[in-house]
């Protein structure tokens, strides 16, 4: 069981890394600001490390007993409640951007869905191909 926990924590952290680099890269390149999401974080340990830890913890949800053989689909499904957390809790309370993050632009909810979906996709792929269970 400890091995399974370590695998899903690692998958969550990988998902968080991919998600964070995508957010930073799209902001740095001006893609998201040009498309209605005015968020371009600075890539720094102070910004990245808490994201990796919280993403790893979210990865524990991969231990839920459903869709055991369809990890990519499971990752995408697990990204939906993560998206809700972003638009209903993180944006309004932690970032003071209002519900749905409209303070960051009208595209904020859509971009949040894209980036959380990227978390689920990359975490699911990581589990499926790199951490197969014997």
Would you state the pLDDT for residue 28? 96
Q: Closest by alpha carbon to 127, among 67, 72, 54? A: 72
Higher pLDDT, 25 or 134: 25
Owner of token pair 């720094």 = 44
pTM, two decimals, is 0.92
Spatial separation of the C-alpha atoms in residues 45 and 61, rounded to whole Å: 25
Would you state the pLDDT for residue 102? 97
Average pLDDT (94-111) is 96
Q: Percentage of the chain with pLDDT > 70?
A: 97
Statement: residue 69 has pLDDT above 90: no
Average pLDDT (85-104) is 96
Q: Closest by alpha carbon to 109, among 94, 131, 92? A: 92
Spatial separation of the C-alpha atoms in residues 72 and 128, rounded to whole Å: 7
Render pLDDT for 7-62 as a digit per residue (tens, 0 to 9). 999 999 999 999 999 999 999 999 999 999 999 999 999 999 999 999 999 999 99
Average pLDDT (92-117) is 97
Statement: residue 133 has pLDDT above 80: no
């Amino acid at each position: 069981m400890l091995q399974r926990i370590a695998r899903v924590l690692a998958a969550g952290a990988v998902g968080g890394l991919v998600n964070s680099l995508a957010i930073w890269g799209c902001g740095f390149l001006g893609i998201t600001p040009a498309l209605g999401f005015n968020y371009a974080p600075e890539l720094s340990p102070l910004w990245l490390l808490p994201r990796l830890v919280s993403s790893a913890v979210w990865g524990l949800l991969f231990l839920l007993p459903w869709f055991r053989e369809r990890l990519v689909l499971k990752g995408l499904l697990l990204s939906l409640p993560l998206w809700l957390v972003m638009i209903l809790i993180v944006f309004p309370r932690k970032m003071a951007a209002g519900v749905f993050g409209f303070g960051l632009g009208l595209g904020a909810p859509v971009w949040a869905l894209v980036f959380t979906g990227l978390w689920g996709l990359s975490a699911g792929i990581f589990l499926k191909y790199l951490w197969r269970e014997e």
